[in-house]
Amino acid sequence: SLCDENIEGGAGAGAGDNESLFQVEARELGKEILIRIQSKKKKGVLVKMMEEIQSLELFVVNSSVLPLGDSVIDITIIAQMGEGYSLSVKELAKKLRMKALKFMSS
């Protein structure tokens, strides 16, 4: 199954940054999940996303980060489901999106 969660525009009240961008795509393939994230460049965004993924009983098998222009990064992660993993791809995308919004607005 596949899920896209997109956020464009301000990251919340007082964010003051209309250039904010965050997109999450998650696809489940057997016991693995492919996660693609496009994000505005901000120091620490990759670390925060990895921490959140691992806290959800997903184990990162492979990852890559590519810059897109001067202000956006594209993160691709392949993660293996742990025994305690129970989220749908839609729930996973939503959780990652919420974590990113909180981080981007801080």
Examine the pLDDT at 81 and tell me if it is beyond 90. yes
Could you tell me the residue ranges of all domains in the chain?
2-104
pTM: 0.80
In the prediction, which pLDDT does 104 show? 85
For residue range 12-35, list pLDDT tens digits in order: 444 444 335 789 999 999 999 999
Is residue 94 within 8 Å of residue 59, measured between CB atoms?
no
Instruction: Name the residue with higher pLDDT: 5 or 68.
Output: 68
What three-state secondary structure class fits 78? strand
Cα angle, residue 39 at apex, residues 38 and 45 outer, rounded to 5°: 120
What is the CATH architecture assignment of 2-104? 2-Layer Sandwich (3.30)
Whether pLDDT at 10 is above 60: no
Alpha-carbon distance of 28 to 35, in angstroms, equals 9
Taking the C-alpha atoms of residue 20 and residue 9, their distance in angstroms, rounded to an integer, is 5
Local confidence band at 101 (pLDDT 50, 70, 90 cut-offs): confident
Distances (CA, A) of 62 to 21, 58, 84: 24, 12, 20
